[in-house]
Structure 1
Amino acid sequence: MGKTKNRREELKRAWQSFKQRGSADGEVRQEVFESWERCRQLNQTDFHNDKKRWPPADDEKVQKILNQNEILISTASLLLSRIAEMVSDSQYVISLHDRHCYMIDRYFAGNSLVFPQGSFQIGEKWDEAHFGTNAPHLCMKYDKPFLLDGAEHYYEIFHHLSCVAVPIHSEEGEIIGCVSMIGGYSENTSHTLGLVSAVAYLIETQLKLTKTVQTAAASFDTVAEGWGVLNADYTVRRVSPYTGHMLNVKKEELRNLNFAGMFAYEDFKKRLEDGEASFSYPEYDLDIDGRKVRCNVTVAPVKIMNRFVGVVLILREIKDVIRLANKVMGNRSYYCFSDIITEDKEIMAQIKTMKSIAATDCSVLIEGESGVGKELFAHSIHSTSRRLSGPFIVVNCASIPQNLVESELFGYEKGAFTGASSNGSPGKFELADGGTIFLDEIGELPLEIQAKLLRVLDNHRVRRIGAKTEHPLDIRVIAATNRHLWDEVEKKNFRGDLYFRINVVKFNIPPLRERRGDVLLLADYFLSNISRKEENIYKQFTEGFRQMIQEYSWPGNVRELQNAVARAFYASRTSLIEAEDLPQEVVSRVLEIRGNGDKASGQGETKLPCAKSGTAYGSENEKAEKPAHCNANYAQTKMQFECESILAAIRMNNGNVTAAGMSLGMSKSTIYRKIKKYGIRLN
């Protein structure tokens, strides 16, 4: 007691000295002395019961402050009230302040009349301008617990009190307020500091937990999946609103759902009772009052101290699972009508019609020889339709083994046949739900499958092998064949009713031999693509090459032309692609046609013209001349190809460098820079 009295008297002398001379006689903490200095600079003088220091708080402003700190207040209120009860036989004010030092809550223990009249009101700002040196302000200023005794307070009216304040931090470590405890000056202040520190810690912990729960609840309520938390007796503890949307159950009925009853006993309770860890069902028909809802289900038991306390259920709609699977497998369209290279009037007219019907859901049949690009047109129709964001499933009917066609198209249930997956599998039609299914080479389907396909197309519902129920489909069907399908109908190889079902709109893509104007156009396009792929190795076709590809009939259509251009590009040894670089069957067939033509006209043996030398193969000038002005160090390299490409372009453009650069995709400055680099002489 004597020690406390001496300390009290020492602080009193120091305070009086500061008030009189601005300096303190005795030991005063640096933080306290600096606070006194700030208070003096604010022109504050001592006062006794000066109620002007605590003007009435503005109700509207106070309410705004309380609203801003609602979570902090609700979190701390129970703890503060309990502390007030614990010290009810003493005289204390337990208060809560926000980060700006406004008092936002407080509890009195004992007789509140012993405290200064008019103070300790909700909404008061405990800064130095209003309350002088005080613990709530200092603890947040220095971010540490603060104990202020007696005369350490700047105002004498508080000298008989001790004040303890401890800051409260957010999860990120920011100060969001403080908790304070003010009572009579005594020797037990160290105990008070420990108690307040514990309360502040508990408030911080509870705030973190509250934030975690609120974040989880927000996620729980907004995620586009069904979530359910069940108690140990399988009653509902919490369920997400989206679950009701998935299961077509009203929001007010969700908590009464019998989740366990949606599963067969052996599929749910027995597995949980056997202590099985988390398990899932890729597809499960949940039984909801006799209704079947197919979902992807994950079941996770919850255990605390190795004791089963509940279950977490995660439900996903099958269409979302299929959408994700399609994304992973790349089941989407890759081409649009702008990717179709043509100047043929017939094809351009068909494209115009395709664009107009793309907006509808009518079935489309595309006929044409192999290699004309039927799939490209199917991709483009889907890319122009309202189903663009949906899947585009390609099925090559000719490549599926006959015994697997039905399961591939329509799917199967688990255990439907020997070798079937234990989880079952969706078919191509289910994968295409919400999008387009492209049945390529549909004419190759067995007749028994054609009958089942017709049923699916008629009612837009599919039944898996081994299933008891059908599932609705929202799909568009595009079919293609390299046969004349009506001829197959007449031969009894294709069902007539299915033909008319898929033949709502039919397009016939003409073969390449009937659109000669597209041959050079496509060849240049393929050459440009290869050049970009090979890091801009520029090559050009000779006139002899161009003449030969125009004379060939291209029985393999666009696909054969593309492969021939690629072969010629890689076979050529210079930057000029010769006719001799074409596949042998192309060269032989053209020479044969020319020979037959010459014999019919009475001419002798035909020579294949060489555009570079102006002679024929087999002559003394058979080998193509090499550019004379390129540095030999670039031979058989990318740089030589580039050098030769520039030379050839300049020659083909009669010495016009700018035009040569444009034909190579180079700017004027770029081609001149490369001419200088390779030492090419222009004269």
Structure 2
Amino acid sequence: MVSDYPKFIYNAWKNFTETGVLVPGVKQEIGESWQRCRKYSVDYNNGRGNDRFKVPVEAKIQENIQLVAVAHSIMENIYGIVEGSGFSLFLSDKDGYIIDVIGDERIMDKAEKLNFVKGALWTEEAVGTNAIGTAIFLNKPVQTIGAEHYGKHQHSWTCSAAPIHDEDGNLIGCINMSGDYNEAHIHTLGIVISAAQYIQKQLALSVSYNLLNITFDSVTEGMIVLDENLNIKRINDRACNILEISIGEALKTDIRKLVKNINFNDLMNSEGKSYNNLELDFHIKNNIIKCIINAVPMQAGNKSVGIVITFREAQYVHRLVNQMVGYKASYKFEDFITENNRMKDIIKYAEKAAKSDCNILIEGESGTGKEVIAQSIHNSSKRYFGPFVAVNCASIPRELVESELFGYDRGAFTGASKEGHPGKFELADGGTIFLDEIGELPLDIQSKLLRVLDNNRISRVGGTYEKQLDVRVICATNRDLKEEIKNRSFREDLFYRLNVVNIKTIPLRDRKDDIEAITYNFISKLNLKNENKDKRLNSDYINHLKAYEWPGNVRELRNVVERDYYLSESVDILSPTQLEKSIQLNSEEAEEQGVITMQVLERENIEKALQCCKGNIVAAAKQLNISRATLYRKIKKYNINNV
């Protein structure tokens, strides 16, 4: 700095304030600031902070809490270097209000006399040309020395200020370093510029860190972060809720005791290895919490520096699967079409049963609406929001029944999925499981089902513990279970456990007063489905429908009506003569066309097996690969003489 500059700038200031004329040699940014101050009518004989601009300090700090938190530690570090040199550090917000101050006692006393304190406003308009106000106005670093300040009482100061910006380049504050003007040096401006840049970087990191924290705690999955030594370093709130532990407890927990089925050391040291959608148990406080987890190593360069584990309760995932695969009930009691008083009584009884949570056994012939009743019960119960899982016990191969119903753990048997597999009971947790054709269950599975009904717990195939479930059981059968009990193919204790509420459906031949309404409903739906058609029923057709005995019940009625609907070329549905042909299609017409129905084939096969085995039921059943009870039932069904 030129030694006579202080005298020059003072004379230039004096000339400007008295005449308004700016002499050559004054720095451009200072001269332009003086002109603005003159326009603002700032009192050049003053320069003190004015109390009328003062605001509650705490309010301003709170508005800029993140800026203050980051800048304060940086200001302390700088002050640790310049302490005792007569300099102080000031922080302002974007509007020029002082929100933090650190400095020597002597200079702070001087600053207080100048009202250069927290809460005071130090813009050009308030106190004239000064480093903070001018830096904010110009949005660039500024140094003001001695008489460069517009206010007379600031002439003994030297100030260096640099604006602070956020990640988007918006001005958010200003850092200033002030002291005696005799100590003025260009290096002080460099210090505050570096400080402002460092504050900006730390703010960006702080924002990113806060965003990560918010994201970490707001994700819907539990999340655990391990360091390279497998210590739990972070755990989010969702994880604590699932595991029912506090953050403090979690940080002290050994992950290898919490999750026993993963070799975390192997995962850490294996390149490219991870676990995805693995169903595992968390062992904590003598509890077992089954979850679906992902575990992925964190890489820094070519080195694993930790592991991220994300997980959700298996029950939640199962519920999501249920929604995706359609495990839900469609029918409600109001969907029933009936004028039959007995049927109305059955519906009222079923509605009453729906309000309870007891087991229900629905008995009746095929096609009489057993599953429709089961779905309606579910939808009228408190479980309507949960899954409705229907299982046809007769369609599951004998060797897979147990794993299909109760699930299996990984490695339970050859070909088993390595992640294990939930059974239908687990998928029905919180809802209803409908076991259709319950009479077809093998005796050993009946025993396990009885245990499930007694304690509401299931044990997977190959599993080592029982899982508590909340499932309502509704069963259905077209067989006489009491007869099966006599034949020792169905457990009597299981029958009484299932038969808490018994509902017997009515065959269509005993409710012929409903045939017309049901048929009209079928035709109405078919007309809606086929927009270009508007077919009707004639009375003769309805009368012939009523005259038939309908061994296949409503299911057979629907098939016949639908077939006639599409085969009819007129507006009216087929004539009675055509109807009779339609009903006989599966018998006489099929034989005429050289087709033998499955029922005929089955009957002939059973008769042949009995002849070969000379009437020995056990041997014949073994040859047919069916149970003895099933063989007895089919002999009765086809009225076969046991030779």
Q: What TM bracket, shorter-length normalisation?
A: 0.7 to 0.9
Aligned residue runs from structure 1 range 113-512, under 5 A? 117-141=113-137, 143-146=139-142, 153-159=149-155, 161=157, 163-171=159-167, 173-183=169-179, 191-221=187-217, 223=219, 225-249=221-245, 252-264=248-260, 267-275=263-271, 277-280=273-276, 282-288=278-284, 292-512=288-508
| Unpaired runs of at least 5, structure 1 | 593-683
- How far does the alpha carbon of each residue in 1:651-677 deviate from its partner, in whole angstroms, 9 at most, with x for none? xxxxxxxxxxxxxxxxxxxxxxxxxxx
* SS of structure 2 residue aligned to 1:73: helix
With over 3 angstroms needed to count, the CA separation of the structure-2 counterparts of 1:44 and 1:321, relative to structure 1, is: same
Taking a change above 3 Å as real, the CA distance of residues 231 and 96 of structure 1, as seen in their structure-2 partners, is: same
The answer (yes or no) to whether the contact 1:462–1:470 under 8 Å persists in 2 is yes
The answer on 1:105 being equivalent to 2:95 is: no
User: 1:137 deviation in Å?
Assistant: 3.9
SS in 2 for 1:540: coil
Specify the alignment match of 2:617 in structure 1.
none
TM-score, scaled to structure 1: 0.75
Q: What is the DSSP-based 3-state SS (H/G/I as helix, E as strand, rest coil) of the residue aligned with 2:474?
A: strand
- The offset of 1:424, in angstroms, is 1.9
Residues 560-604 of structure 1: CA distance to partner in whole angstroms, max 9, x if unpaired? 333444444444446554448977743669xx9xxxxxxxxxxxx
After superposition, the Cα gap between the structure-2 partners of 1:264 and 1:568, relative to the gap in structure 1 and judged at 3 Å, is same
* Aligned amino acid, residue 74 of structure 2: L
SS at 2:92 equivalent: strand
- Computed over aligned residues only, the root mean square deviation of the Cα atoms, in angstroms, reads 3.7
Q: For the Cα contact (< 8 Å) 2:280–2:290, is it kept in 1?
A: yes
- Quick one: distance in 2 between partners of 1:434 and 1:404? 24
> Partner amino acid for 2:420?
G
Match of 1:97, as an amino acid?
Answer: S
Shift of 1:462: 1.1
- TM-score in terms of structure 2 length: 0.79
C-alpha spacing 1:550/1:36, structure 2 compared with 1 (3 Å):
farther
Q: Which residue in the other structure is 1:662 paired with?
A: none
Quote the offset at 1:149 in angstroms: 6.0
Give the match's secondary structure for 2:312. Answer: strand
Q: Distance in 1 between matches of 2:45 and 2:492?
A: 107
Contact 1:358 1:385 in 2 (8 A): yes
CA distance in 1, matches of 2:362, 2:475: 6
| Structure 1 match to 2:634 | none
Distance 2:545 2:8 in 1: 113
C-alpha distance 186-353 of structure 1, shift in aligned 2 (>3 A): farther
Give the aligned residue type for 2:477: T
1:522 has 2:518 as partner: yes
Q: Which residue of 1 aligns with 2:44?
A: 46
In 1, are the aligned partners of 2:147 and 2:155 still within 8 Å (CA)?
A: yes
TM-superposed CA distance for 1:449, in Å, is 1.7
Deviation at 1:501?
0.9
Q: Indicate conservation of the 8 Å contact 2:37/2:124, yes or no.
A: yes
User: What letter matches 1:319 in structure 2?
Assistant: Q
Residue pairs, 1:83-94, within 5 angstroms? 83-88=78-83, 90-94=85-89
- The amino acid across from 1:72 in the alignment is L
Identity %: 39
What is the CA distance between 1:382 and its match in structure 2? 1.4
How far apart, CA to CA, are the structure 2 residues paired with 1:211 and 1:350? Answer: 65
573-582 or 207-216, which moves further after superposition? Answer: 573-582
Other structure's SS at 1:341 match: coil
Q: Within 5 Å, which residues of 2 pair with 1:56-67?
A: 61-67=56-62
Q: Number of aligned pairs?
A: 584
**Unmatched segments (≥5 aa) in structure 2:** 589-643
Q: 1:114 to 1:285 in 2, by over 3 A?
A: closer
> In 2 relative to 1, CA 525–101 (structure 1 residues): closer, same or farther, beyond 3 Å?
farther
Q: Is the 8 A contact 2:428 2:471 kept in 1?
A: yes
- Whether the 8 Å contact between 2:76 and 2:102 is mirrored in structure 1 is yes
Indicate whether 1:77 and 2:75 are aligned.
no
Tell me the distance in 2 between the aligned counterparts of 1:233 and 1:370: 63
Question: How far is 1:475 from its partner?
Answer: 0.8
